[in-house]
A and B are shown apart, each in its own frame.
Chain A
Amino acid sequence: MKPNSFGWYGWAMMGLILMLPASSSGQDSASEAAFSAAVANLKSGSMKERGLAIEQLAGVHNPRAIVILQALLDGRLFKLIADDKLVIGEEVDAGYKLFDAKNAESLGTVDRSATQKIYVTNNLRTSLRKIIGRLELNDNDAGVRLAAVKAMGKAVDDESLMLLQKHLSVEQDKSVQKAIKRILGLEQLNSADKTTRLAAIELLKGQANQNVVNRFNELVDKDAEGHYLEADSDVRNQIKTALVKINTQLQVYAAIETLFFGLSLGAVLVLAAIGLAITFGVMGVINMAHGELMMLGAYTTYVTQQLMPDHLGLSLVVAIPAAFIISALAGIVIERGIIRFLYGRPLETLLATFGVSLFLQQTVRSIFSPLNRSVATPEWMSGSLQINDFLSLTWNRFYILVFCLLVFALLLQILKRTRLGLEVRAVAQNRTMAKAMGIQTARVDALTFGLGSGIAGIAGVALSQITNVGPNLGQAYIVDSFMVVVFGGVGNLWGTLVAGFSLGIANKLLEPYAGAVLAKILVLVFIILFIQKRPRGLFPQRGRAVEG
């Protein structure tokens, strides 16, 4: 079925010839033929031919063209192996739900193996975006038009400029107008007329846009022979003043970004450490299996996602209580089965829980295989909140930050306002006295440990969104967790919060200068020195309870 190149070019030529009368007189049959030919060519073997077919398809005025091109860009365009028909597929459980590419006729559902995907490369993706942009310039939705203009701005050519110029006169929406003016303004910077250039600078200087900054920087720079790209010194000075202003802005954005990175890393640290703050901080148990309890939470997320594959977002919400229950139960079993026999013997506890951690890891390896499991991220958690070209906050980190604060607040309320919290605090302060007051300390121990473990499980849900879900997930976080708890002061939840955030920010401040490896080492060294000075951490517990 692979047409030879001569034959193909023949088709392309014919398509072009056919297009001319089609566009002027609106002849249906000729346009239809060109459309069919272009669609057929999309299936052809080489990427070069496919690229030409895309251009060709964009040339025919057919409402289906844009649908097909979009499907191609999204990787939803397939060829049926049986009859070589081009189809658009939607992923469903049993395989693909198919529609005829040419007329949207439903073709039922087929197995994955019955189809062959029409692949595209990066080059084709870029040109697809541009072409779709051109076609979408007349869309009714202003958001679509804005995206279209932006896509066209990425690879400007004469045709796009002409289209944009024409479109500007009919465009009503302010933001689309602005985007078009920017692209045209960037082009005017190359104008031979000085006043046009100055006007373009005036228009562009207030805009926080990467292309503008790049172009400005280029213009005030010298080329290989030592000539300024912008020959006129007046214009150059204008650009320079504009750049100074932009650069101060950029510094502010960079600072905000670093702060956000630090807070989000801190949120992860706090989430990982907060469960430990309860088991280690309040109960004094060195639980080396803490990381593995997080891992259980992450695997629970994976399993819930497998159970409800069509509701990604909902499965994540369901995973939170599920992970809490599973990790809490695991924690209670560990406490009742092992740790309660070892109270007051920290070394043995350490060894025993280390054994438990290895046991849990290997169990997960046997059940889920040693391979990492992929946990999908729901749509609302991927991508970023684009404030402008220089500042964007990633959604997943943002949600985790919010989630961390929620968990912290909730935990604080549990410890402060519930009966369990009261008992936990009583036992932590003075076990003998609490026992004398009629508190069943054994039961409280189990529940406290369960609570700490459950929180670890919840942390696992959050971690599944930013890191790998695999048997080694826990190990990566156990050192960090202990670090945060010790730094914050054993037995103090607020200390954990402050410690987590400050370590996160410190890490992110150091990273650009020292690199990721060294930054982490520096933070560790700092903590070692700090602990020398203040062995009880940032917020030490005071009073008689400490001695108990």
Chain B
Amino acid sequence: MNRLSSRPRKLGIAGILVTLTLVTGMASAEDTIKVGVLHSLSGTMAISETTLKDTMLMLIDEQNKKGGLLGKKLEAVVVDPASNWPLFAEKARELLTKDKVAAIFGCWTSVSRKSVLPVIEELNGLLFYPVQYEGEESSRNVFYTGAAPNQQAIPAVDYLMNDLKVKRWVLAGTDYVYPRTTNKILEAYLKSKKVAKKDIMINYTPFGHSDWQSIVADIKKFGSTAKKTAVVSTINGDANIPFYKELGNQGISAEKIPVIAFSVGEEELSGMDTKPLVGHLAAWNYFMSIDTTKNAAFIKQWHDFIKNPKRVTNDPMEAHYIGFNMWVKAVEKAGTTDPDAVQKAIIGVDFPNLTGGTAKMLPNHHISKPVFIGEIQDDGQLLTVWQTNTLVEGDAWSDFLPESKAIIADWTAPISCGNFNTKTKKCSGQNF
């Protein structure tokens, strides 16, 4: 009885829903431009990525207040890939085929980007990727607004070598693609600078490693010689807190053995007890503490939007800020959101950084960035101790690895290739 009577009702509801979505779909297709936001809102990466989702909402909101884009309102389509790498690909497909978004802003870990890549190339979408990464990639459909290794790792090592006179190096990282590749590049770079093999110690630990006793003791022993020692840390995420705690407990101060981190920023510091970290270093392309009018306005806008004056801003947020505004400029220039037209239009587009200087989209789909090195203070902010004089152009393929030395990426004619070998003058069959 019950079953029979509920069936037509269910069908009816479904029918109404279908018509509703069709109607709204048609309506929105006419007067809004959809922007996909592909950041994990649950799972391990939610810590970092939720902030970026909010940043995107803020930027889109602001653009709409300015009158939208091409006379249309922007509409954010937020999906949750739940820190699940294959789900990133599925959600990207959903955004491109079902929601028909004009561009996607998202991903954090390299593995999530690699998972989205085939989808976005197949469906010819646009992805703006805001996080520092290991390089060795340039896709026609991806714009890398975070730092390549030459915009973060290499300048950081230069600083340690020239300013702090570091002679012995510990390369410590979490065991996955970004640290492995970065450390490979750094090792090659150090060797090119005549650092002996016995003066380099490389160490990998699993995600979320919490028992750092022996590793820190090893670092202490390694650094106990008369030569100045530093740790270059690509340790990612949660594992950092017990790592720094152990350093503090075993009496290794930043003055003795400084640790320079590539994955510790203001957002990560806000959840930490900063006592053991004071004086250690971080290298980024943006610090919240940098005093410019643009940055102050951005921080104020963020606090107003998120309604919490204690929230911090960080490097990937600036990357999204630049990436989004570059996309807006490119769409205006092209007069359409068509991916092919935008890809052509965006190369050469420039937009001012929050910290001074102007970022430019390069033919290899990376951008030019300033590099800052800061010392961690006990309020969780980073105090700039060194910065590059000029903006550094992102290099997709590292010059320090023998296998990628001859390779460049250039998406302008006549090369139009993300993996072009300058020796053989050939574009590899690989798309990215």
Contact = CB atoms under 8 A, between A and B. Distances in A.
A265 B245 contact: no
B251 interface: yes
Contacts of A373: 271
Contacts of A261: 213-214, 217
Given A119-B377, A121-B383, A374-B271, A264 B249 contact: no
Interface stretch (A23-31, A63-71, A332-340, A467-475): A467-475
Interface string A15-37: 00000000000000000000000
A516 B205 CA distance: 6
A257 B206 contact: no
A89 B249 CA distance: 26
Interface stretch (A52-60, A377-385, A436-444): A377-385
B204 to A, nearest CB: 6
A125 interface: yes
A392 B250 contact: yes
Contacts of B379: 117
Contacts of A370: 42, 46-47, 50
Given A265-B211, A468-B242, A218 B42 contact: no
Interface string A512-533: 1001110010000000000000
Interface in B242-278: 242, 245-246, 248-251, 254-255, 258, 270-273, 275-276, 278
B258 A122 contact: yes
Interface in A134-154: none
Contacts of B275: 376, 382
A371 B211 CA distance: 21
Given A394-B213, A472-B44, A515 B204 contact: yes
A512 B218 CA distance: 8
Contact of A125 (B46, B203, B218, B255): B255
Nearest to A518: B204
Interface string B216-228: 0110000011100
Contacts of B375: 121-122
Given A47-B385, A122-B254, A122-B258, A264 B271 contact: no
A126 B250 contact: no
A268 interface: yes
Given A121-B385, A392-B250, A517-B206, A265 B213 contact: yes
A476 interface: yes
B175 interface: yes
B215 A516 contact: yes
A375 B276 CA distance: 13
Contacts of A386: 251
Interface in A209-229: 210, 213-215, 217-218
Given A261-B213, A372-B47, A468-B242, A117 B377 contact: yes
Given A362-B42, A370-B50, A468-B241, A508 B214 contact: yes
Interface residues of A, number: 53
A291 B218 CA distance: 30
Interface residues of B, number: 48
B278 A511 contact: no
Contacts of B378: 75
Contacts of A377: 245, 273
B125 interface: no
Contacts of A467: 210, 238, 241-242
B25 interface: no
B249 A384 contact: yes
Contacts of B245: 377, 396, 466
A462 B82 CA distance: 29
User: Most chain-B CB neighbours within 10 Å: which of A218, A468, A511?
Assistant: A468
Contacts of B278: 75
A395 interface: yes
Interface string A259-281: 00100110010000000000000
A515 B273 CA distance: 27
Contacts of A511: 214-215
B85 to A, nearest CB: 16
Contacts of B175: 517
B155 interface: no
A520 B206 contact: yes
A392 B216 CA distance: 12
B279 interface: yes
Given A394-B250, A395-B249, A372 B238 contact: yes
B86 interface: no
A125 B213 CA distance: 26
A373 B271 CA distance: 6
Contacts of A62: none
A384 B217 contact: no
B114 interface: no
A365 interface: yes
A251 to B, nearest CB: 12
Contacts of A213: 224
Contacts of B203: 515-516
B217 A257 contact: yes
A392 B251 contact: yes
Contact of B238 (A47, A268, A395, A470): A470
A265 B215 CA distance: 13
B100 interface: no
B241 A122 contact: no
B329 interface: no
Contacts of B242: 466-468
B357 interface: no
B238 A516 contact: no
A476 B271 contact: no
A375 B273 contact: yes
Interface in B370-420: 375, 377-379, 383, 385
A459 B251 CA distance: 26
A377 B276 CA distance: 11
B209 interface: yes
A7 to B, nearest CB: 22
A384 B226 contact: no
Contacts of B255: 122, 125-126, 129
Contacts of B279: 121-122, 125
A365 B42 CA distance: 8
B298 to A, nearest CB: 19
A290 interface: no
A476 B214 contact: no
Contacts of A392: 250-251
B221 to A, nearest CB: 8
Nearest to B209: A516
A371 to B, nearest CB: 5
Given A213-B224, A371-B47, 10 more contacts: A47-B385, A122-B279, A217-B225, A258-B214, A261-B213, A261-B214, A261-B217, A268-B211, A372-B238, A516-B206
13 contacts: A47-B385, A125-B279, A129-B255, A214-B225, A214-B226, A372-B241, A375-B273, A382-B248, A395-B249, A467-B242, A468-B210, A516-B204, A517-B206
Complex A-B, nearest 10 residue pairs according to Cβ-Cβ distance, in ascending order: A467-B210, A370-B46, A394-B249, A372-B271, A261-B213, A374-B273, A516-B205, A371-B271, A468-B238, A214-B226
Interface of A: 47, 75, 117, 119, 121-122, 125-126, 129, 210, 213-215, 217-218, 257-258, 261, 264-265, 268, 362, 365, 370-377, 382-384, 386, 392, 394-397, 466-468, 470, 472, 476, 508, 511-512, 515-517, 520
